[in-house]
Structure 1
Amino acid sequence: MVELFEDERLDYLLAEELQIIQSPSVFAFSLDAVLLANFTYLPIQKGKIIDLCSGNGVIPLLLINRTKAEIMGVEIQERLYNMAKRSMILNQLDNKIKMIHGDLKDMPSRLGANQFDLVTCNPPYFSSKSPEIQNQNEHLAIARHELYCTLEDVVKSSSQLLKQGGKVSFVHRPERLMDLFMHMRNYRLEPKRLRFVYPKEGKEANTILVEGIKDGRPGLKVLSPLFVYNQQNEYNEEVRAMLYGNK
């Protein structure tokens, strides 16, 4: 059993039958991470996957049962990195998922360019100029606001890490869609799949899922919309399966 610190708790990833260390004051993953993991196409048998802005390692944990590829997670905050490391040990996955403490901007030089088949990233959504930052503790501010990396930094590093023909998948906010597409094309990542996520029917989309291919041909597919809740404010069947599995 691993040691828990301060207000940390153990939560279950029910669909994956795994556990994860979380903290309300440091980091707890959101539905966005689950959506991104399920949206992402994975190399099944082999390859190398890297998750940037990995937080407490939730996306590597959500992916591990669907691939035999090598998985790495990168997190700049030492406290979150430590939480992720302990979660891997807790699930006896520390020999399959390697967590790296460092800045994503340094990864191409540290790990080598053109090395990965897949990059995933749930980046900070908000500009560092946002007034919301004044009301958040340091850990949450870094996770949510562009303090240590910008959207351009994320896209640039993703492209540098990817092999030609490799895939990248992002989750972000609809208001940043054009910024994301612009940076992707500037750094040789051709947008190939786009899905809008809505809280429920009749509401505006509040999340986007985007896949790109390095040096891919133009041709964007807009997938069917995903509604998180039904009119009874319960999870829709697709989202419920993501969270709890097909049981």
Structure 2
Amino acid sequence: MQVALHETERIDDLLTHDLKIIQSEEVFAFSLDAVLLARFCTVPPRGKIVDLCSGNGVIPLLLSTRTPAAEIWGVEIQERLAGMGKRNIELNGLQDRLHMVHADLKQIHRTLGASGYDLVTVNPPYLPVPAGEQNRNEHVAAARHELFCTLEDVVASSAKLLKTGGKMAMVHRPNRLVDICTLMRQYRVEPKRVRFVHPRQGEEAMMVLIEGIRDGKADMRTLPPLFVHEEGGRYCGELHAVFYGEKSELEAGGQKSPENERNRG
């Protein structure tokens, strides 16, 4: 389907399942963290999924390749990005089960309904609002800094959306992991799986992927680290397979525990 492009926008190939995406360096272009989150989280074969801080809707697009029947909502507070997300859904002909909502995540449970979702994903702004000058590009500033929502807002809103046994998955910076786990427990989302992402072996982690279960039991597993680059700067084999659609999920991130997670919570 053809859709209108605004100034500075382009259409890129998502490299998997023939998906295309509208992006703009001036407004929003997705990065590695969004791809990793979409391939790390535990996706239900059916049911309902919400992606908070959705930007141009890249995570809902990628999640659609991992579940044949689940309905997916993206939630974005910036009107221009929400509009871009809607056009991305139309561009890929996924209007039957993907939706983009222009809304504040702090109130989204009033719009979409509370306690009814199987999975909430979120790639939130990583940085607190700076005391000094911030990026003059409002879209870039909002993507980087907690201008519209804090980390607590993100966790609290996710918890309100989830049904008992539903999962929340987030990507963030490792220096916020203690805060994330503390807030998840405060809002009754038990941390279950954590995976650190490193640029390459021998370097500190640059990202952390974490998944929790609403009203789950205490039993957190630390998965093997993911090293993005091999020697020579090539992507590692696991990431290459994910990028090009050979695998639908990260290998270690997708491992299931010996006991059925729904039974053990």
- State the TM-score, normalizing by the size of structure 1: 0.97
Partner SS, residue 73 of structure 1:
strand
2:17 corresponds in structure 1 to 16
Is the 8 Å Cα contact of residues 16 and 62 (structure 1) preserved in structure 2?
no
Q: Aligned pair 1:223/2:227, yes or no?
A: no
Query: Separation in 2 of the partners of 1:171 and 1:12?
Result: 23
Match of 1:78 in 2: 79
1:130, distance to aligned residue in structure 2 (A):
5.8
Q: Counterpart amino acid of 1:64? A: S
Q: Which residue in 1 is equivalent to 2:256?
A: none
The equivalent residue for 1:52 is 52
Q: Where in structure 2 are the equivalents of 1:137-148 lying within 5 Å?
A: 137-148=137-148
Q: CA deviation at 1:129?
A: 1.9
Q: Secondary structure at the match of 1:28?
A: coil
Deviations 1:140-166 (A, max 9, x none): 111111000000000000000000110
Identity of aligned residues (%): 58
Q: Which residue does the alignment assign to 1:27?
A: 28
Secondary structure at 2:84's aligned position in 1?
Answer: helix
Distance 2:134 2:108 in 1: 30
Cα deviations by residue, 1:30-84 (Å, 9 ceiling, x for unpaired): 000000000011111x210000000000000001021111110000000001111
Task: Name the residue aligned to 1:186.
Answer: 186
**Is this contact kept in 2: 1:15–1:241, CA < 8 A?**
no
Matched, 1:160 2:187: no
Match of 1:41 in 2: 42
Residue ranges of structure 2 left out of the alignment (5+ in a row): 248-265
Q: CA deviation at 1:22?
A: 0.2
Q: Is the 8 A contact 1:75 1:81 kept in 2?
A: yes
Q: Give the equivalent residue in structure 2 for 1:134.
A: 134
Structure 2 counterpart of 1:23, which letter? S
TM-score with structure 2 setting the length:
0.90
Residues 170-185 of structure 1 mapped to structure 2, 5 A cutoff: 170-185=170-185
The SS at the match of 2:231 is coil
CA distance in 2, matches of 1:94, 1:81: 14
Counterpart AA for 1:14: L
Partner residue in 2 for 1:101: 102
| Partner SS state of residue 178, structure 1 | helix
Name the CA distance, whole Å, in 1 between partners of 2:246 and 2:85.
26
Distance (whole Å) between structure 2 residues aligned to residue 171 and residue 29 of structure 1: 13
Matching residue's letter, 2:154: V
Distance 1:37 1:123 in 2: 14
1:7 aligned partner: 8
1:69-123 C-alpha deviation (Å, 9 max, x unpaired): 1110000000001111111111111222011000000111222110101000000
CA distance in 2, matches of 1:113, 1:49: 12
Separation in 1 of the partners of 2:246 and 2:121? 24
Q: Distance in 1 between matches of 2:5 and 2:101?
A: 20
Q: Secondary structure at the match of 1:134?
A: coil
Distance in 2 (CA, whole Å) between partners of 1:240 and 1:179 is 31
Cα separation, 1, equivalents of 2:17 and 2:195? 23
Provide the C-alpha distance between the structure 1 equivalents of 2:208 and 2:151, rounded to a whole number of angstroms: 14
The worse-fitting range, judged by mean Cα deviation, of 221-230 and 109-118 is 109-118
* Mapped contact 1:36–1:171 kept (Cα < 8 A): yes
Tell me the SS of whatever aligns to 1:7: coil
The residue type paired with residue 60 of structure 1 is P
Secondary structure at the aligned position of 2:170 is classed as strand
**CA-to-aligned-CA distance 1:120-145 (integer Å, 9 cap, x gap):** 000000001265x6234000111111
Distance 2:119 2:30 in 1: 21
